[in-house]
Structure formats: structure tokens, C-alpha cells
Structure 1
Amino acid sequence: MGSINHKYLPIDLSHHINEKSKARHPSPLKDIIRFMGKDGMISLAGGLPHPSLFPVQRAVFECEPPHTEPSFETPLVNLDLGRGPNSGKLDLTEFLQYGPGAGNKKLVSLARELTDCMHAPPCEHEYLLHPGNTNAWSKVVGLLSEDNDYVIVDEFTYPLAQALWILLGIRATSVSADEQGMSATGLRKMLESWDETTMGQRRPRLLYLIHLGSNPTGVTISAQRRREIYAVCVEFGGLGFFMANSVFTERLLRVTEVETQDPAGLSQALTLALFQNWGIDGYLTWLQGLQFQYRARRDWLITAFEDSFIVLPATKSPVLQAQGNVASIPDSDGKLMPIFSYIEPKEGMFVWSKFYFHGVRRFTELRDEKIEDLEQAFATELWETLAEQLVLLTPGSYYYAWQGPDKTSTVARGADPESAFFRFSFASPSKEQIEEGVRRVRKVVVQFWDVST
């Protein structure tokens, strides 16, 4: 009988790497560093500053212990990080010095342990630490995409992710979604019908997807939908999800060595010391506490919607193709006017809403003025009025997939007419602020929709 711990060798994905990344070579200075730690080595080669010149001698952090609910009565965890014989919990010296591009070995080992514990990847894989997701995504785009390529995204996607590729001439091609996330059927249809002559570029090979608590929509892709999407990607030679295939980590390490190098040493030291104190189980307990907190905050916002609007399931609403729930207010005749629809998020910290403008007096006035992008003009006016009433939402226009400078208007993007999107966040306001904020939204809605309260 074979071992249940056996892992398969990773498949060869080298054909996905772009030409620039294929041309990268290891930093020669990093070759020197790997010899410096040998016992008895006298280095006359490197330009590393002597540790005695580092100004930081000691760092003390007071952190919360792992818990599911915050408590002011719980004693804090004291992390005392120093240097030399009296270094405390962790010797800072190595963290203040230049380090390997992959990051501190002990911290990398903890990342591996955590991933194996929670996800048990079936293939051999490697790890690189990075200074932040934006930087990491930038490197992935630089690894896999050629200039002027297309990237597959959700209909609404994170704006900073797009900002990284717009300068390369890369455009997005979006796939529709429902309550379970990106449509695998829509993805297949888009890939099957891709015409390189019409589109001017090869079929997309990179898919950007947030599968848990998507920003901005809050959608969590179901396990079955993920399998369906993965099957389509495999069929069309797409990239699977790895943490991460060694072919990619080796190339990513090359770019890290000559750009950011290793993540900030003090950040690595604090993270390592905290993980060593908490352990994997403690970290998971802390994550569970976050889950409870955000679930409660989400419920505050949903309840505030129900208190300020009449909320019905989308199936009982006159709005065609609405998903989730529809918030309405009665007009002067008592007939319900749909204001916005939303899906209750299962993850994340946002509620994504679609506002409906049909029959709104001010929207009709703008139409008569022959505004170029009617929906965006009205959405902007609505957003600015909300801000004047001291309630701030995030405009949905920030999250539209970038299809090029000629496809920025509602009509050019092929978006639904007489509607626009806004994102509600329940991350930081108190329960009272959320309730008051939604009341202010209703006040502006009553003004624009021209109905009595």
C-alpha cells in the first residue's frame, strides 16, 4: 500500500512563461550569499554592512493571544526581539541584514506547514515570501503575460490588479457570474469562440479570480463551480492553481532578487515570532475569531437594509434577472419601486449592490439632455449627493473590467442599461454607524426617486 503522504511531481508548465521571464538569470550577488554562512568562511567578497552598524538593538511587541472573541481582560503576548546573547525570543541580527529572495527559511517552513495542514496540495510545490499581494500579483503578470495580451476576469474585478497590466497594453475580457461565481459555461463559450484575427491577439492564457469573498462582489465560488472552471482551464491548456509550481517560483525568485529582494526583515521577524508563539492551531483560532466578527458586521448591514427598505427575495421582485434580494420603497400609490439588489456575502467585508434607475425622475431628465454616458452621469450625481449627506459608498465604476480606452461607457462595455453598481463596506463602522448610514442612503433615494417617506 502506498503512503497517503505521497505527492505527485508537478506537471511541466514552462510553456506559460513569457519571453522576458525566460531570459532572466540569477543575481550574481545572491550566489555569493549562499556561501557566506559556511563555518570558517572569511568573506572578502560581499558588501553587506557589519551588524554592529545597525541602529535597531531591540524591538518589543505586545500582541493579542489567539482567541475567537476580543477581550480586554486577556493578558497580552509579549514578543521581545533583541540581538546577540541576550536576544530574547528571536535574534534580530539576521533580519536586519540582507536576506535570501525567497524569505527567511523558518518563516517559509511555517508557510509550508500551514498550507499542508489546511489544503494538502497533491503536487510538490515551492514557496516564496513577498512584501504584499499587489507586488506579488505584479510579478505574476510579469511572469506569464506578454505585452498587449488579454487577461480573463470577472465582470467586476479589483482595480489595483488591473492597474498593473494596463501600462503593458494588456486588456481584460470578462465572464459573467451568478451567485456561485464566474460561469464555467460562459468561460468555455468565450474561449471556444475566441478569434485571433478579430481580437488582434492570441487566446487568453491567464485567469484572475478571487474565489473567497471577492472584492467587490463578496461572492464565494462554490467547490463544484471551482472544479468546473478548473476543468475548462485544463481543457484549453490553462494554468492550474499551485502553491506554487517550482517552474514558476524559480522564475519569480529571479525577478525578486533584482527588484524587491526579500521582504522587510522586521516584518518577517515579528511574523515568525508571533507564529512560533501562537502555533498553527492558535493562528486558526484567531482566523475563526475574525470570521465571527465579520459575520456579525455583515448581519448588521443586512438588518439595516431590512429596517430602512422593504426587502424581498429577487424571485418575488419585478426586476428581471435580479439575484439575491431586492430592496424597495413604496411610491405614492403604494406600489413597490425596486431601488437596489444585493447578494448576502459568505466571505469578505463587502456587499455588492446593483441600483435600478428605471422611472427615476432625475435619470429621465439627464436622458433628455442627451448625456453621453447616461448611467455613469447619474451614478456620479447620486454618489456625490450621498457624500454630501455624509455617507460614503464605493462607486462600482472602479471595478469595471478594463477592455481598452474605447470601451469605458455603459453602452460600449455592453453593460445593462438603466443601472449602476455601488459597494457597501461593513469592515470598520460600528453597528450604530451602519444603521445611520443606511438611513442616510434611504434619505437620498427618497429625494432622487421622488417619493414620499
Structure 2
Amino acid sequence: MSSALNFSDIPSLRQKLGPLTGDIAPVTTPIMFKSPRCFHKPPAKSFQHRLSQEALSRGSATLKTAGTELNADVISLATGRPAPEYFPFLNMTLDFPQSSNFTEDDQNSSLSETIGKSDIKTNKASYDLAISLNYGYSAGSEQLIRFFTEHVDVVRNPPYSDWQCSLTAGTTSALDSVFRTLCNRGHYIMTEAYTYSAALEAARPFGIRSIGVQMDEEGMVPAHLDNLLSGWDVSERGASKPFLLYIIPTGQNPTGTTQSLQRRKDIYAVAEKHDLYIIEDEPYYFLQFQTQKTEVYANSDQPPRSDPKLVETFLNNLIPSYLSLDVSGRVLRLDSTSKILAPGLRCSWMTGSADIISRFLYLHDATIVSPSGLSQLALHTLLDGVWGHEGFVKWLLYLRDEYTQRRNITLESCSKYLPRNICSWSVPEAGMFHWIKVDWRVHSLAAAYSKADYVAGNIILKTEDRIYSTALKKGVLCCKGSAFRAGGVQGCEIYFRVTYATASLPQIEEAIARFGMAIKEEFEVGV
């Protein structure tokens, strides 16, 4: 068994591995930054047989490959990178909250960092504007690849040796790359019955169809996934059996469900049985509230902020990732900065086996090239320079506590304003979303028609649309559940997704009250 690795081990590990090159767009691999324990694990299985025709036709970019031959004694006349002296940016100053106080109220706790154009040459910093503003390596800067490799090494500890990290231009862009790299036109992908609508919309133009797997209070039901795959009829479906499984295990969008550790193990076992490749989309992973599945909304089981083992306790209480369970290398984990730092950064990271990650780099060479250099510079300055690994985790813990409060206000408001004979819900254990079920069967529209399935389906959509429109007239905008339905199949229930991510706490209560008024008006309650 591999030995434990802690964030306190990172400084000595960096010292042993040596300094960064400080070059423009150096070829960077996590192998340069992994702890020794990684290399004692078995390698991943090969998933080359899951590559799309497009991916198989791609190779490394000619000019990028030539760049690998550079060394200190070679003068390059090959690459059309502008000289940094022609960049009209001299320095950039950013103010960051320190890990001792994350609130914006105390400006005295902020730390100001100024990054110049030539800080590397003058030994002032390990990253500067001259590097970040030039063309970058497709996997990302060596500075951020080192940080995220260390993060994954400590927090995830993948069970195989040849895992790698690569930066992405946000998860939506990463999903586009996933579908282009792993799917051909006409393929099916497996998703939760209700899933992230942008994922479905990203797949659709490629001619990729979706199959929704039944869900319960813990998300995707593994037995139904197994049954769908075991009973797959190629002639009936007109396509080969799906091999790509797209899931959002924690604080699922839109339903807010969170898979338990046992549920994750059961789904992974189905993936092993049917040779599935798993896309683990985890933007809400660190927003795990760690409360029981009851309507007791207090957050009393959290360790006090004075606990010296706060970071360790927080990480140990998180449900393990699929990546941490992945003995075969069949998981591609997508991490996002959008929900935990800022969506405008358009700079996130993914982790998977080296042979699959290399295919994404071939694609990125010809498409995004690399995420924004300024975003990478800002991220590195904050995460590596100001906070460090433990400070980053303390920020995540702070966010978890803030969203716990927002979740609690939402639940309290629902109990106060929504009629319980019409509306029902489960307590979200993570994330930013609350999934409200509305009993359409007691609506006047339903009573006017027969019980025939095709009629009921029509009435469901009409009733959903009426509730949505009435709520909008009352001054609250919610998302229709039908927008998230996979496979183009009409569901048998009505759901609305509400988020507690944006509105202020008073606005959350007011919005739920307005939604309650819309429900009561539509269902003629108290009128």
C-alpha cells in the first residue's frame, strides 16, 4: 500500500525534484511533479479502443513537436512567438484575501501581489507576464500543472501510476473535447435520467444520442444501468452498446443528489463489467455539507474553525472520488474553477490516464491551444503564491460553510411557503441546487383529461409551462425540469430546479415565497 502524502510534504518534494524551467511553453508532464509513491503502482489499462475516428486521425502538432528539441544552446528561428518586449503590459497588481480571513468586509486582511513582465529573469517570481502572455503549452503552464498534480496526488491518490493532469478552458470546453475524442456520430452515451443540459447540448451537434438511467435519492441506479447495457439490442437501437458514462456524482445538476461511497463502488463495478469509460464531472465536489438526510438543517457537526486538523478533517470527510477508486484508468475526472473560484477564469483541470490525456492535447493544439495565460497567472499567484495547498482547502471549506447556510435558508423557506400536499423535495447534501417535485395530478388540467399516457405527457408539459409562466409573473425565475431530461423522453413527473448560488439570503426567501404564491394560484389553493 502506498504511504500517505500530506501537503506538508510538498516543499521537500519540490526541493528534491528541482526548480521549474522558467521557459516559454515548456513541454510539461505530471511525471516531473509526482511523488515517488505513484511509480510503485500498476499502470492503467489501455482505452485506445474507445477513441473516435477524429481522435485516431490526429497526431501531435508539427511546430509544437519541433519545439521539444530546443535547449539552452539552440537559437530558435522556428516558432512565431512574438518577443515579450512587444507586449504592451508592464505589470499586473492583484489583491487577494488571505487564508486567515476570506470575507470581503476586512480589507486589511488582503494581500497585494504585483507581477511584472520579467520577474523570472530577475528571480522575483517563478511566473511572469512575459511567459503567461505568450503561446502556451496545450496541457497548461508548468507552474499550474505542478500545483494541480500535487493537489491530485494528495487529495485523490489515483490507484494507478500513469495518471496525468491537463488544464482545460473550463468544463464545457472539456466536454466538447470529450465527445470529439471518444464518440462517433450515432453513438449513445449513458447519463442520469436528468442531467446537465449543456452536456446534452454539447453532444447533440455531433450526432450523439443519450440514454437516461433511472435515479433515486442517491442518484444513478446501478442495477438499471446494468440492465440497460445487458439487454442492449443493436438492431432495435440502431447503434452499438454505449461505452461512455457521463455522471455528476456530487450535488448533481439538476437534482442535487449525491452518490454514497457504496453507490460509487457499485456503479464502478458495472463499468468494469461492461468496459465503460466514465466522465466524472465534479464542479460541486467540495461543497459537501456533511449533514444527515433529515430536515434538521443545522450544521452542528462541523469541526470548529480553531481545530488544528481542520484541513485534514475536511478532506477525510469527503466522499472519495471515482478517480480515487479507479484501478483501471477508465475515469476522466473534470474539476472546475467555475463554482469554487470564478467562472470567468475559463481555466480548469482534468485528470485521467496518460494515453487518453495525450489525445486531448493533440486536439487542444489545433483548437484552444491553451487556457488564457492571464487566467493561469492569476490562478498560480493565488493558489501557489498566496494561499498554498492548505490555504486553498481552507477556502473550499469556507465555501462549503457559506453554501450550507444558503441551502438551509432555501429549505426553511420551502417548508414555510410551499404547500406540502403539492410540493416535495429531498435535502441536498452538496452543491448549489434544490430539486422540487410538483404533483401535477391534482392540477385542474389533469382532471380534465383521461389517463392515457400520451395525453398525460402532454398535460405534464402544459402544466409545467403554466407554473413556470405564473412564477415568472410573480417575479421569480426557476428552471423547468424537462430541460434536463436525457434521451428526449418525456418524464412522468414535474420538477423545478432552483439554485441558492446567486441571490442574497433575503432574496432567496423572497423568491421561494413568490414561487409558493405561483403554486397556490395555479393549484387554486386558498383562493
Query: TM-score surpassing 0.5?
Result: yes
* 3-state SS of paired residue (2:397): helix
* Percent identity of paired positions between Structure 1 and Structure 2: 27
User: Equivalents in 1 of 2:81, 2:413: separation in Å?
Assistant: 57
1:359 positional shift: 2.4
* 3-state SS of paired residue (2:164): coil
Deviations 1:221-280 (A, max 9, x none): 111000000001101111222521111011111001111111111111111111122110
Match of 1:30 among 52, 57, 64: 64
The residue that corresponds to 1:290 in the other structure is 399
User: Equivalents in 2 of 1:155, 1:133: separation in Å?
Assistant: 20
Q: What amino acid is aligned across from residue 94 of structure 2 in structure 1?
A: F
Deviations 1:112-159 (A, max 9, x none): 100111111111211111111011111111111111100000010111
The residue that corresponds to 2:141 in the other structure is 104
The residue that corresponds to 2:74 in the other structure is 41
The residue that corresponds to 1:441 in the other structure is 515
Counterpart mapping for 1:410-449 below 5 A: 410=490, 415-416=491-492, 419-449=493-523
Deviations 1:357-397 (A, max 9, x none): 122224445889x7982211121121011101101111112
* 3-state SS of paired residue (1:353): strand
Counterpart mapping for 1:232-311 below 5 A: 232-239=270-277, 240-242=330-332, 243-276=351-384, 277-309=386-418
The residue that corresponds to 1:221 in the other structure is 259
Instruction: Provide the alpha-carbon RMSD of the alignment.
Output: 2.1
Please say if residues 67 and 286 of structure 1, whose CA atoms lie closer than 8 Å, have aligned partners that are also in contact. no
User: Equivalents in 2 of 1:353, 1:371: separation in Å?
Assistant: 20
1:19 positional shift: 2.1
Matched, 1:378 2:468: no
The residue that corresponds to 1:353 in the other structure is 436
Q: Where does structure 1 differ by over 3 angstroms across 4 or more consecutive aligned residues?
A: 1-4, 85-90, 362-368
Matched, 1:66 2:104: no
1:70 positional shift: 1.9
Please say if residues 66 and 285 of structure 1, whose CA atoms lie closer than 8 Å, have aligned partners that are also in contact. yes
Structure (1 or 2) with the larger CA radius of gyration: 1
Please say if residues 445 and 459 of structure 2, whose CA atoms lie closer than 8 Å, have aligned partners that are also in contact. no
The residue that corresponds to 1:333 in the other structure is none
Please say if residues 181 and 222 of structure 1, whose CA atoms lie closer than 8 Å, have aligned partners that are also in contact. no
* 3-state SS of paired residue (2:168): coil
- Please, which runs of 5 or more residues in structure 1 have no aligned partner? 310-326, 329-337
User: Equivalents in 2 of 1:14, 1:153: separation in Å?
Assistant: 22
Report the CA distance shift for 1:33/1:431 in structure 2 as closer, same or farther (over 3 A).
same
User: Equivalents in 2 of 1:87, 1:93: separation in Å?
Assistant: 13
Counterpart mapping for 1:57-136 below 5 A: 57-67=90-100, 70=103, 72-73=105-106, 74-84=108-118, 89=125, 90-124=127-161, 125-136=163-174
Report the CA distance shift for 1:431/1:46 in structure 2 as closer, same or farther (over 3 A).
closer
Counterpart mapping for 1:120-199 below 5 A: 120-124=157-161, 125-199=163-237
Q: Give the aligned length.
A: 414
Deviations 1:59-87 (A, max 9, x none): 11111122576252251121211112568
Please say if residues 68 and 290 of structure 1, whose CA atoms lie closer than 8 Å, have aligned partners that are also in contact. no
* 3-state SS of paired residue (1:271): helix
TM norm structure 2: 0.75
User: Equivalents in 2 of 1:343, 1:371: separation in Å?
Assistant: 25
1:34 positional shift: 2.4
Please say if residues 466 and 522 of structure 2, whose CA atoms lie closer than 8 Å, have aligned partners that are also in contact. no
Counterpart mapping for 1:389-408 below 5 A: 389-403=474-488, 407=489
User: Equivalents in 2 of 1:371, 1:435: separation in Å?
Assistant: 33
Q: What amino acid is aligned across from residue 423 of structure 2 in structure 1?
A: F
User: Equivalents in 1 of 2:100, 2:262: separation in Å?
Assistant: 32
Please say if residues 403 and 501 of structure 2, whose CA atoms lie closer than 8 Å, have aligned partners that are also in contact. yes
Pick which of 443-452 and 97-106 moved more.
443-452
Q: What amino acid is aligned across from residue 505 of structure 2 in structure 1?
A: K
Please say if residues 97 and 265 of structure 1, whose CA atoms lie closer than 8 Å, have aligned partners that are also in contact. yes
* 3-state SS of paired residue (2:225): helix
* 3-state SS of paired residue (2:149): helix
Deviations 1:387-434 (A, max 9, x none): 01101111112101134xxx5xx3xxxx21xx3110011112222212
